[in-house]
Amino acid sequence: MHLRAEAIVLSVRAHGEHGAVVRALTEADGLQPGYVPGGRSRALRPVLQPSNLVQGEWRARTDEQLASLTVELIHSRAPLFGEALPAAALSWATGLTAAALPDGLPFPRLHAALDGVLAAIEAAPAARGWAVAMVRYELLLLAELGFGLDLEHCVATGAREDLAFVSPKSGIAVSRAGAAGYEDRLLRMPPFLTAGGAAEWGDILDGLRLTGHFLARDLLTGRSADVLAARVRLVDRLQRAVA
């Protein structure tokens, strides 16, 4: 196995005395794990920062063996980790992707979307410019992994207009008329998910509640559930930022 490609660093885990196991997302070959000798060294720690763009080269004698990985930095987002809100957003986006995706399967739409979210965070650390993109990325991740929501028609009436809620059980939209009397049992669907355009902070937080429910239920279970702590930190910091 020999692969050379640009990749987004998603996660770094200490391995042995000096090395690190790195999971990075490539466009054509999906998520690729690799062992970086000396990955915990002073020279490589800034390179192996989640969200950084690197040139990676993976080598292994067999497909079953964990590849040895060497990296060269292309673009660093490490300075953003000195600010609480951007750091929380970068940590969540990369951690979620690392936990949810299987190894070696291409997800070009997710690669492009993640690259866009990370670039938006870098361009607008104050969150107004990237919070909507984060919600849309979470929805896309659910869809790409087979847990997509149906936000086009009402599960109760079949209507395609005035959709304002989502059933937490089926993941299908519910109109205001169909939701009458059951609003407190449903998840609010913010208008920007179907109509596009700008979003108020209340709508953004509703969007995060919506996607968070299905991420926790359908994707981040078992050992992967640990990554949800990063999302809790992100939502908490967003709420404090807009309070």
Full strand arrangement of the beta sheet holding 173-175: 173-175, 163-166, 187-188
Q: pLDDT digits over 75-127, tens only?
A: 999 999 999 999 999 999 999 999 999 999 999 999 999 999 999 999 986 78
Q: Strand, coil or helix: what is 31?
A: strand
Q: What is the pLDDT of residue 18?
A: 87
| Per-residue CA distances from 132 to 12, 146, 164, 187, 199 (Å) | 27, 22, 17, 17, 7
Residue 236: other Cβ atoms inside 10 A: 11
Say which DSSP state 4 is in.
E
One DSSP character per residue, 57-109 reads: EEE-SSTTSPPEEEEEEEE--GGGGGSHHHHHHHHHHHHHHHHHSPBT---HH
Contact in structure between 66 and 34 (CB atoms under 8 Å): yes
Q: pLDDT digits over 176-201, tens only?
A: 999 999 999 999 999 999 887 778 89
Angle between helices 201-214 and 131-144 (to 10 degrees): 20
**All domains of the chain in start order, with CATH:** 1-76 (2.40.50.140), 80-151+189-243 (no CATH)
Residue 79 Cα to chain centre, angstroms: 20
Q: What is the pLDDT of residue 125?
A: 67
Q: Is pLDDT larger for residue 17 or for residue 149?
A: 149
Q: Strand, coil or helix: what is 49?
A: coil
Q: What is the pLDDT of residue 55?
A: 98
Q: Cβ-count burial of 213 within 10 angstroms (0-12 exposed, 13-18 middle, 19+ buried)?
A: middle
* Average pLDDT over all residues of the chain: 93
Per-residue pLDDT averaged across 211-217, rounded?
96
Residue 163: other Cβ atoms inside 10 A: 24
Q: What is the pLDDT of residue 184?
A: 95
Question: 173 phi and psi, to 5 degrees?
Answer: -65, 160
Q: Quick one: which H or E segment has residue 53? A: strand 53-59
* 226 pLDDT more than 90: no
Q: Distance (Å, rounded) from C-alpha 196 to C-alpha 209? A: 18
Q: What is the pLDDT of residue 92?
A: 96
pLDDT band at 223 (very low <50, low <70, confident <90, very high): confident
Percent of the chain past pLDDT 70, that is, above it, reads 99
Q: Is pLDDT larger for residue 53 or for residue 199?
A: 53
